[in-house]
Amino acid sequence: MAHLLIVELPGGNDVDIMRAAIERGDTFSFLTADLAHYQRQPLVSAVLEMAQRIITLPGFDYDEVQGEVLALHKRWPIEALLCLVDKRLLDAARLAQALGLPHIRPETARLLRDPAALHHHLAEQGLDHAEAAPATRAAMLSHPLQQLQLLRHGQLIGCDTFSVNGRHHLLGVNEKQSFAPPYASTASVAIRGGCFTPNQGQYAEIERFVFARLDALGFDWGAAHTELMLTEAGLRLVAVNGRLVGAKLPRLLSYALGYSVHEALVDVHLGQWPAATLAQDQARPTQVAVVRWLAAAHEGELRRVDLPEQATALFPGLRCVEMLKRSGDALRPPQENADRIGYVMVSAAMRVDAERVAERYLAASRIVMADEVLDPFDMAGAEPSWPSAAPGRLLQ
């Protein structure tokens, strides 16, 4: 049983990393600048009650933070430090260095928090450019809509990796899909969904591209979420995030890979995810996993969301449904990810099957606004099945 230090929570409400620690039989302490924010959320507060110790420092002055953490370490030795929040990445790297724990170095964290410096650093090493990817395009573009997106805008993909002592492992690739009019303006950056496909050796070109840049940045330990644009000119780097992917998407990865990505991340930071286990991970049965987000087509106040009954025959492979907006929240067409209402996740052996089920589930859902106007996702006869503050329903 290990003692973990967790620094803040992604999205301000995602306790999956804490639940993973509990499932493993580990204990955890929590470091935050705003404990009240978490305590106002009953589902989050209930998990925080299981913490070994909570350190809250509103100013998050680093010297003060380090003093408190070292005092905690002296009383209850900390064996791994995990931070899934960009804002605290540099602080986490400095703390891990002070504790002698596996983590990226502070100098790497500084680069990741400064996009201009990051691209300049890569340009100096001849890596801030596109690389031809004809094989990747052929492998990933499976239907005309994707081909059209590539020709006009490029395909945005997310690459999730674990690094252990400088050795990188690509977990898989998530092809992202943005909202389109009428649900969003042309300036929208909101993601409507994606399809995560586990890496089984088919992404060698992407591996070379991503690993070269992680090496150049000195990224040697932990999770990274690297975003690329797949264009006619080749792969282009969009961003490198020194953390696990956000927006509850680690669940999507877990459904596809067949094991808990959060638990695996704990193993990474404990130094217990050696190369010898990679073959075992790759030998596990995998599927593709699809996420689709629900959004409103017009502005208004949310009254409720009516979700369809989760009949296995109607929605095979349905894994998780979670509504993040509550009754009384203001809605608008999605201009950014925070505008999205909730999501559905589906896994299947074939991508087309997972996508079909996810789209059918959204089509059978309806958003009820305070003015009784329903958005175009409506389907007559859907029975209400969603409480105003529903947690994610994990369907095993």
**pLDDT tops 80 at residue 136:** no
pLDDT for residue 281: 58
Contact 265, 82 (CB under 8 A): yes
- Give the mean model confidence (pLDDT) for residues 158-184: 90
What's the pLDDT score for residue 264?
93
The chain-wide mean pLDDT, for the chain, equals 86
- What pLDDT score does 250 carry? 96
* Model confidence pLDDT, tens digit, residues 217-255: 999 999 999 999 998 888 999 999 999 999 899 999 999
> What is residue 318's three-state secondary structure?
strand
**pTM of the model as a whole:** 0.86
Q: What is the dihedral of CA 169, 150, 195, 8, to 10 degrees?
A: 60
333-347 pLDDT per residue, tens: 999 999 999 999 999
pLDDT value for 297: 87
Residue 302 pairs with which residues in a beta bridge? 369
| Least trusted range by pLDDT, from 31-35, 130-134, 213-217, 313-317 | 130-134
CA distances from 28 to 21, 54, 269, 332 (A): 7, 9, 13, 38
Biggest distance spanned by C-alpha atoms of the chain: 61
| pLDDT exceeds cutoff 80 at 381 | no
Rounded average pLDDT over 131-151: 48
| C-beta of residue 275 within 8 angstroms of C-beta of residue 167 | yes
